A and B are shown apart, each in its own frame.
Chain A
Amino acid sequence: DTAVSQTPKYLVTQMGNDKSIKCEQNLGHDTMYWYKQDSKKFLKIMFSYNNKELIINETVPNRFSPKSPDKAHLNLHINSLELGDSAVYFCASSQYQGSNYGYTFGSGTRLTVV
């Protein structure tokens, strides 16, 4: 059973399109995250939700909008895609905000904008 699953795994799309990435966790965790990993492997947090409430919203263009319909799901919608959005996007979860058990990561969604 996959603990944190993301779909799709690969996404190739043209500039200007709108796309969504879905994330689901079956661990019963309260907190979920979106991270962006660039071509140099640098990981930067984008958003964090705790029990459906947005708690971290980094300096991210407002073309990116997270949505958490319930605490097991955190989706990422991206409008008007740009070349610079090409990256690997990781979803992660933790037991609760500030959990010292660490994060469980999904396997990533590789987004390529052409």
Chain B
Amino acid sequence: AQSVTQLDSQVPVFEEAPVELRCNYSSSVSVYLFWYVQYPNQGLQLLLKYLSGSTLVKGINGFEAEFNKSQTSFHLRKPSVHISDTAEYFCAVTTTSGTYKYIFGTGTRLKVLA
């Protein structure tokens, strides 16, 4: 079975500072990895995904993530955050075969301070 751990439930950061949101996963089979963002009172939007190939993945809104197979991590980063990045961020994993069921992490609330 797969699992996803988001190590930080809340991350406060000042505007224009860099941020890293951590995600670790566990799986005995190949996986796809995703980051989603949820703004207040909205559904989830796909930020970026790792399927294969280059371990550094770039997404929307200036976010990027790096897949590290040896550390089973998929951390999300942004070099300079804006107030508008305040939201809940979810890491998700799904297998590349079988039931393809998504497993979501418990979310990290990013709060950008002025």
Contacts and interface: CB of A to CB of B under 8 A. Distances in A.
Contacts, number: 55
A42 B44 contact: no
A107 interface: yes
Interface stretch (A14-22, A64-72, A73-81, A96-104): A96-104
Interface stretch (B16-24, B45-53, B65-73): B45-53
A108 B49 CA distance: 22
A45 to B, nearest CB: 6
A90 B44 contact: yes
Given A45-B101, A90-B43, A100 B49 contact: yes
Contacts of B84: none
B54 interface: no
A42 B106 contact: yes
Given A56-B99, A102-B34, A41 B46 contact: no
A105 B43 contact: yes
Interface of A: 4, 40-45, 48, 55-56, 90, 92, 97-100, 102-108
Interface of B: 32, 34, 36, 38, 41-46, 49, 51, 88, 90, 94, 96-97, 99-102, 104, 106-107, 109
